[in-house]
Structure 1
Amino acid sequence: MKYVLFYAPAEDVMEKAPLHFPAHQSRIGQFHDRGDLLMVGTFGDPVNQGSMAIFPTREAAEDFVAGDPFVLEGVVRSYEIREWDEVLS
């Protein structure tokens, strides 16, 4: 079982994201380096479609969200964590 985090962008994402991206990217690196973040990326139209990340545990996904500058500073308007039953890797 994996856990997928979906971010829905705020209406003013283009103004806010550049301000908070360095801290967000640093958090991504920290979680990835310790194995708590497997993959992360935006969809083809990130302003309208948002982004997603895949975590090995729900706890890792929740911990990431709890301190992510994109959440804390309103770069994303909402998020959702879903269980994902990976069939093939």
Structure 2
Amino acid sequence: MPYFAVQYTYRPAKAALRDQHRPLHREWLAEEHSAGNVLIAGPYPDGSGALIVIRAADLEAAEAFLANDPFQAHQAVDAIRIDEWTQVFGPFPA
């Protein structure tokens, strides 16, 4: 199944909204990580966004999957970039 690199962009104007929904967002990430759908996830140290690497059948499935993220449901993310990604070296199953 393909991998997708997801980049969330955050703007300061929505910081309070993200703070409010972060516990649900992280719970969702943890559940999906345990299920094998989220491979890695974490924010950028400067607060400008986050990187999530997921598995999905295709781009459409990746978009549908991400729609379940509480940050998405509550419009706490300012922009999303989703790129199919090919692992050449790394820890994830082939």
With normalisation by structure 2, the TM-score equals 0.79
Match of 1:53 in 2: 52
d(CA) in 1 for partners of 2:65, 2:13: 22
Q: Is the 8 A contact 1:12 1:75 kept in 2?
A: no
Match of 2:7 in 1: 6
Query: 1:32 offset after TM fit, Å?
Result: 0.6
Residue 23, structure 1, aligned to residue 21, structure 2: no
d(CA) in 1 for partners of 2:29, 2:64: 12
Residue 62, structure 1, aligned to residue 77, structure 2: no
* Paired residues, number: 86
Aligned identity (percent) is 26
Give the CA RMSD over aligned residues.
1.6
Match of 1:40 in 2: 41
Q: Which runs of structure 2 are paired with 1:65-76 in the superposition (5 Å)?
A: 65-76=66-77
Task: Give 2:54's aligned amino acid.
Answer: F
Task: Give 1:81's aligned amino acid.
Answer: I
Q: Is the 8 A contact 1:10 1:75 kept in 2?
A: no
Task: Give 1:41's aligned amino acid.
Answer: G
Query: 1:43 offset after TM fit, Å?
Result: 1.3
Runs of at least 5 residues in structure 2 that lack an aligned partner in the other structure: none
Q: Deviations over 1:14-53 (max 9, x none)?
A: 211111011111110111111011000111212xx31010
Q: Is the 8 A contact 1:3 1:84 kept in 2?
A: yes
